Amino acid sequence: MIFNPKHKASHHTHHTEPRTLWGKIAAILHLPGHTHSHAAIGSQDAMFRSELGVRTVKQALLLLGLTMLLQVIVYVFSNSVALLADTVHNLGDALNSIPLLFAFMLARRAATRQYTYGYGRAEDIAGLLIIVSIAFSAGYIFYEAIHKILSPQLITYGGWVVLAALIGFAGNEAVASLQIRVGKQIGSEAMIADGRHARVDGLTSLAIIPAVVGSWLGWPILDPLFGLLIAVAILFITCDAVRAMWYRLMDAVDPHLVDHAELALESADEVTQIKSLRMRWVGHSLHLVAELELASGTPFERVTSIRQQAVKALKHEVPFLDEIVLSFVPG
Q: Which domains does the chain have, with CATH numbers?
A: 31-249 (1.20.1510.10), 255-330 (3.30.70.1350)
Look up the pTM and report it. 0.70
As a whole number of angstroms, the distance between CA 99 and CA 73 comes to 28
pLDDT tens digits, 307-322: 999 999 999 999 889 8
How does residue 37 score in pLDDT terms, banded at 50, 70 and 90?
Answer: very low
**pLDDT (tens digit, 9 = 90+) per residue, 75-121?**
777 666 556 666 766 776 677 788 888 888 888 888 899 998 888 88
